[in-house]
Structure 1
Amino acid sequence: MSSALLVIDVQESFRRQEIWAATSNPGIVGQVNRLVDAARSAGDPVFWALHAEPGTGNLFDPDRGFVRLMDGLRPAADEPVLTKYVHNAFTTTRLHYLLTAAGIRELVICGIRTEQCCETTARVAADLGYAVTFVVDATATTPIAHRDAPADRPLTEILADPRTLGTDEIVARTEYALAGRFATIRTVDEVTGAAVALATG
C-alpha cells in the first residue's frame, strides 16, 4: 500500500453559495464516491479534508453548521476527517504525518475548488515528494469574477460580465499548470479502471 485518496472540501458550505448554481461539476459527489469505492476495493486509505474559517460568520464558519461533507459522502470509521484553515491540506493539519506513517508516496486528489484548494494541495504535495494524480473530473469550481468587479454582485451579473473567468477555462488552466510539473492529470474512469485492475490482479 503506497497510494492514498484525498478528498478535499466537498462540503455543504459550497452548495449554500449562490454561485454554486454555476458549478462546473454538479455531480461531484457521485464522482468522488466512485474514487472512494475504488480506493477501498484496492485497500488504499482515504483521507477527507474540510475547510473552516472560525469566527468569520460566513459559510465556512463551523458555527453555521455547513462545514460538513455533502450528503451522500460517508467516511468509514477508520478514515481521518481533517479540518484545515488554509488553502492546502497540509499546513494546518496532520496529513503529512499520517501519510508518512502509513508509508504513502502516491496521492490521488479530488474535491473543491479545482484551482484553489485542490491545485494548491497538489503543488505542496509534489514539493513534499509525493507522486500526485489529479482527478480533474472529480473536482469542481465556479466562475471567478474579475479582480476589478464590484463585490457582492448577483450571479446573473457575474455570468454576464465578459471579464468573468468561466469554469472551462479555469479547469483548463489548472491542467496546464499541474501537468508535467506537479501532477499527472487523470479522469475518474482512468483511475477507477486502474484501481479495479490492481484489485483483481
Structure 2
Amino acid sequence: MARNPERRAALLDAAIEVLADEGARGLTFRAVDARAAVPTGTSSNYFTDRDQLLSQVAERIFVRLTPEQGAIDGALAPEPSRELLVELMQWLARRMAAQRSCYLGLFELRLEATRRPDLRERLTEVLRSDLDENIRLHLAARMPGDADTVRLLYFALTGLLLDHFTVPGMHDERALDSLIETVVHRIVPEG
C-alpha cells in the first residue's frame, strides 16, 4: 500500500467532493481518481477497499472541520455567557458552510452507515469523540449549562444545518444566525 501522506490526503479530499456531489453510490475508486486528477488505479494503491476509503473519509472530514487550537482558545477567551454561546454557534455554522462539501459528505456517510456496520462503528466513534470534546471544552470554559445543554445544542445545530444545506428555502423567512440565536436562548439557561 502506498505511503505518500500528501497524496492520501488529496485522494480523501477528492472522495469528500465525490460524496458531496454524487452521494455514496457514486463513490468509486475511478471517480476519486478522476476528481483528484491522478492516474486510474491510484486510489486502489492507497485503500484496500471501499469500506476502508469510507472510514478514512470520515476521519478526514473531522480533520478539515476541526478548528486550530488557537482559534478555539481565542473563541473561549471572553467571559462565559449565553451571548458568547450564540456567537460561537454562529461561528461554527459559518465554518460548516465554508466546508459545505465536508458537511454534505458527512450526511452521506451517516446514511451509508445505516447499511454498513463497520462504517457505523467507526463513524459513531468519530462523532462520539467530537461530541465528548465539545462537552469537555464547554464545561472547562464554565459556559452556562451542562453536558446535556451541549447535546441539545448539537442536535439543534445538526438539524438546522441539515435543512440549510439540503432544503435551503425551508427557513428563508429567517436567517440561520437568527435561528441559532433563538435555539441558544431557548436551550441555554440564563446566567
TM-score category of the 2 structures, normalised to the smaller one: under 0.3
TM-score for both structures, normalised by structure 2: 0.27
Q: TM-score, normalised by structure 1?
A: 0.26
Larger CA Rg, structure 1 vs 2: 2
Task: Flag the structure with higher strand content.
Answer: 1
Higher relative contact order (CA 8 A, sep 6+): 1
